[in-house]
Each structure stands twice: as structure tokens, then as C-alpha cells.
Structure 1
Amino acid sequence: MARKKKKKHHDEHMDESWLIPYADLMTLLLALFIVLFAMSSVDAVKFQQLSKAFNDIFTSGTGVMDFSSPMETNGRSDSQNETMIQSKGEVRKALGEKDYKELSAMQERVNEYIEKSDIKDKLGTSLTGEGLMISIRDNVLFGSGSADVLPRDRQVAKEIAALLVMDPPRSIVISGHTDNVPISNSQFNSNWDLSVMRAVNFMKVVLENPALSPEWFSAKGYGEFKPIASNKTAEGKSKNRRVEILITPRTQLNK
């Protein structure tokens, strides 16, 4: 009896057209991970500040137009930079409505002086929950390694003093800051010493204004320990060498 030939069953040809969109999808995912990795190398501090700002906008009802613009600081901080970014809503809440309005008006006066004197690269302002900050680059007031206010800049110090006349008065804190380059000479053993004396000597010039009382003022020196920029570049070091004037909320005057 003849054997029946078994039919060979050939595997059906598998449709591989699905591999093309799959490969495209994998390529897109790879590109996405590359982008996410690149974003992760962005300055972590600035990313956190930006994240906080957006969170405040979407959770507290603060409008986008209420968010403080870097232009309003007149070049103070990349900061402050370098400093915690706060929305106008946060600052208003921290200061209280009355203090916020008064300090905002004072900031406008100082900014007008900066514009008129064309010294935006030397002075800047920022309004935070701690009060109104006026930052002055050290090359405006002092020579390298010196704590004596330059004769050519005494007039600038006096004009700033006139802007600090308020009725009723506020507590004002003047602080000195340096970069991280060590100093050791016949006058100063450290950057701390230099920063303290710069704050004190600037305050003395300010207090030559008879309308200002010493009881409203205090002086501090932070040396290199409160930078607003990186000390790895000459530009950053220049920003860190500064004198700051903090005009506090009126409620702190009697504390």
C-alpha cells in the first residue's frame, strides 16, 4: 500500500511591518531620556527656585503677572541669584500690606536714583520678606583690600544716606561681604575683619547725615560666607564683593 506523502507545512510568513513603528517609538523614547538627562544637569538651585515659583502660582492663586521679574532687581542678584525667588504675593504676605507699600515706594525712589545716576552696574535693589535690600559693589566705595571709603565715592554714600531718611524711621542693617580670596596684611587678618570694617566705615559716612540717628543702624561682616554668585569666575567674585543695606519692616525696629 502506497504511503501517503506527508505534506510539508511551511510556516506562514510573519508580518514584520510592526517593527518599523516600534523602532520609531524606541528612538523617540531614547531622545526623551537624553533630553531629561540634559535637563538634570541644569543648576539644581535655579531649577528648585523655578519649581517653587510655579507651585506658588498654581496653588496660591497668585497670578503670573504677580511673579517678580529679574529686571525689578536692577541687576542685584543672579541671585541673588543666588537668592530665593519670591513672588510679590509672598513678599506682600511676609511684610504686611502697609510695609509692602511703603518699601515698594522706597524701592522706586532708589531705582530712580540708580537710573538717573547711570549706575545700574554698581547698585541694585530687591524686595523680599526680610525687607528692602540695596546692594553696592565694593569697587564703588573701596580700593582693593581697603576698608576706607574712597574720597571720590563719598558723595555717592551721602546721596544714598539721603534716600534712607524716613518718617517714621526704620531699622537698617549694613553688612559687608567679600569674595573667597584670602587676605592677610598689616590691617586685616581675614576677610571677616575686612568685611566688618567696610560695613562700619560706610555706616559712618551715612551717619554724617544729621537726619539719621545711630540708634536705627547696625553693622555686620560676613566675609566670604554669604556669596550671591560663584567665586570660580572673576565676574562672580566681583558680585560677591559688596556692601548691602537692609531696610527692615517697621515692626522690627523695636525688637
Structure 2
Amino acid sequence: MTATAVLRAEWIKITTLRGTVWSLACVFLVTAGFGILASTAQGGAENLDGDFDPLFSVLTGVGPGQIAAIVFGTLAVSSEYQSGLIRATLAAVPRRGLLYAAKLAHVAGLTLAVGLPTTLLSFLAGGAALGDRALGLGDDGALLGVVGGAGYLTLMALLAAGLAAVLRSGVAVLGILIPFVLVVSMVLGVGSSAGVADYLPDRAGQQVLFADPPTDVPPLAGLGVTALWAGAAVLAGWWTLRRRDA
């Protein structure tokens, strides 16, 4: 099969599975919903504590939204292993590198395509709720936060897709990643291990969501750290796909 044919086949698979479609929709709904709700609550408050960050307040939905992105990246790869369809797929596309690249291209492209309008909507609607406390797109760090937030969601989806290719089980991937981003980073971020936690994929990448980052890791460097984690997972998935039988 040609590269175009493989891309088309993978597009049909991803866009016709209910799990992938709904998880991708949840990236939009959860990210925008939480961001607007949080901004509305803070916009109506008379006093705010010293930790208030006008950029993070409108993009705070990226945190829960990453769970949907992780689910999407996981299902996009693991569903074929669970159904046994991977055997027919590898018979039709023996060039495993091409097959893997097509899957990842759709995971990254679709997540970014949904993530960009989602973070922009969160920024604009959340900013309207914040009123005078809001930032404009021209303010320092604002545009980087909007674009970087979408990039962060994309990287987390790729991280999940790479792990799914290694573990071949959606349950195993979700059982590792979701507790990791919800619990492990938070626990490690307290006390003497806080410096190490700053370089975990979720904590590092989320620095781009702040106008005044709470750690010493610069926003772009933090996003680069997340990209390295995602790249390592993708490479591990490629090696596993090439070396193991279906």
C-alpha cells in the first residue's frame, strides 16, 4: 500500500471508532468547560489570593483536558490490538514504520486541530469572564500559552500512543498515565523532590500555561522536556512494533 492509502485507511479507523471520536470531543468540552467555569468564578470574586495567574486561570482546563487527550492517543493505537485487527493490518501494510507513522500523524494532527481552537476559545471566553483582570493576546506569554497549551495536549496524546504501542493494552496505559498525571506529579512536587518533579512530562509542559511560571523551568524549555518524553515513548513504540509479532 502507498503512503496515501495507509493514511486514508488509518483516518477511517480513527474517525469511525466511537471511543476515539468521543475522547477527542472531550478534549474540547473538558478543556474549554473547565477554563470558562474557573474564569467565571474568579471573575466574580472580589478578592483573589497572591497565586492568581491571569493566563493559567483561563487555560486551567488544559489540566483535566489532558486526560481526554491521553485516552484518545491510547485508543488510537491500542484498539487494534484489543480487537485483533492488527494482524490484518500488518498483513496489508508490512512496512511497519509507515503504518506507525500514519497512526502518529493522525493522533498529532487531530489533537492539534482540536486543541488550538479549544485553547483559543478558553482564552477568549475566560478572558471575557475575568473582565479587567484578563490578559489580551498581545500581552507577554498569552499567545505562547494558547499555542503551547494545544501543543502540550498533542504531546501528551503522542506520549500515550507511544506507550500503547509498547504495552499493547489500553487499560495498562491508562492505568499508568492517568494516576501519574493526577497523583504522582502532585506528590513529588512537594518537599525535597520538587526539583525532580519539575522535569516530569506533565509538570514541565504545563509551565507554558502560566504568565508567571511557578518553577524555574522556562515555558518553552518545559514544553521541550515534554517533547523529549513523548519522543522517547514514540521511539520505544516504533522499536516494539518492528521487533515483536502481532
Q: TM-score, normalised by structure 1?
A: 0.29
Determine which structure has the larger strand proportion and give its number: 1
What is the TM-score when the length of structure 2 is the normalising length?
A: 0.30
Task: Name which structure has the greater RCO, CA cutoff 8 Å, separation 6+.
Answer: 2
Query: Which structure has the highest helix share of the two?
Result: 2
